[in-house]
Amino acid sequence: MKISGIISNNGNWIERNHETAAQIDLIIDRDDNFINLCEIKFYNAPFNIDKKYSAELIQKMNCFKMSTNTKKSVFLTFIITYGLKENEYSRQIVQNSLKLEDLFLD
């Protein structure tokens, strides 16, 4: 993600409002005015984002922005065991994707 020199705060986020309920697995709130909303998935093959799931992700991002009133740019990042299948939906909404092995580089 190339953020090693950037100070950040990390955590998760849950919105419990019944109309806009959402959960973000990991938030990286960076001092360079960007926020990475990380979806973490464990699958035995590359993960595929379909039309329905894409709409859910967009709803989560919008819910987060409205609930927090952030002025920072928000990026969607996936952390997935075997990576992300590239398709029209992943290209539209995902800014960064990491495989599990990327977290353990020497």
pLDDT at 78: 95
Domain boundaries, the chain: 34-104
pLDDT at 106: 62
Radius of gyration of the chain (CA): 14
- Tens-place pLDDT, residues 9-28: 889 988 887 677 889 999 99
pTM, whole model, 2 decimals? 0.85
**CB of 29 closer than 8 Å to CB of 8:** yes
Q: Which residue do the tokens 């953020």 mark?
A: 3
Longest distance between any two alpha carbons in the chain, whole Å: 44
- Tens-place pLDDT, residues 31-84: 899 999 999 999 999 999 999 999 999 999 999 999 999 999 999 999 999 999
pLDDT at 101: 84
Question: In this structure, what token pair is assigned to residue 43?
Answer: 């699958």
Q: Which residue do the tokens 């590239």 mark?
A: 86
**CB of 67 closer than 8 Å to CB of 30:** no
